[in-house]
């Protein structure tokens, strides 16, 4: 079996070792290509998993920042008015504003409204069903 230098340059070191130990066990070009494709697929899957973890961490950080921002807004507006409250809704992942009756503590208005929050929540569920992350 004649092995050219170009083949040796494209071989993995373990492949070369196998070839020198037992020439009959040399991998074909197709097997080498399949191994390369498998390695590329594994690397791609690892990169996607890392990206997903980073994305999840980033989402958590943003939610924490928005919650802290809502608390800060409430603290800063307190001397001016007890009628407005800021908050963060985890279901929809957005800031909320409530207009409250200062005497009774009753919520007069809410932005977004309860109906809008329900619709947004159901839309997220529907999108999750339609566009499954695994699919």
What is the per-residue pLDDT across 61-109, written as a single tens digit (0 to 9) for each? 888 888 898 888 888 887 777 788 888 888 888 889 998 887 888 888 9
Asked whether the predicted pLDDT for residue 1 surpasses 50, the reply is: no
Residue 5 pLDDT grade (very low, low, confident, very high; cuts 50, 70, 90): very low
Kindly state the tokens that stand for 52. 């997903």
C-alpha 121/C-alpha 86 separation (Å) is: 19
Instruction: Give the C-alpha distances (Å, rounded to integers) separating 107 from 66, 91, 118.
Output: 21, 19, 18
Tokens 């996607």 appear where?
48
Strands 107-111 and 84-89 turn out to be unpaired
The percentage of the chain sitting over the pLDDT mark of 70, rounded to a whole number, equals 78
Is residue 26 scored above 50 in pLDDT?
A: yes
Tokens 């939610």, residue located: 63
Q: How far apart are CA 26 and CA 19, in angstroms?
A: 5
Judged against a pLDDT cut of 60, whether residue 13 lies above it is answered with no
């Amino acid at each position: 079996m004649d092995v050219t230098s170009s083949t040796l340059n494209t071989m993995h070191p373990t492949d070369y070792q196998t070839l020198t130990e037992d020439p009959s066990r040399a991998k074909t070009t197709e097997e080498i290509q399949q191994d390369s494709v498998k390695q590329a697929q594994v690397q791609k899957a690892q990169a996607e998993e890392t990206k997903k973890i980073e994305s999840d961490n980033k989402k958590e950080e943003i939610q924490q920042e928005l919650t802290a921002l809502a608390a800060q807004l409430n603290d800063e507006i307190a001397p001016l008015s007890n009628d407005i409250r800021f908050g963060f809704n985890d279901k929809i992942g957005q800031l909320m504003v409530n207009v409250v009756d200062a005497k009774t503590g009753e919520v007069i208005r809410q932005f977004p409204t309860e109906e809008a929050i329900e619709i947004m929540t159901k839309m997220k569920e529907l999108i999750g069903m339609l566009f499954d992350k695994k699919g």
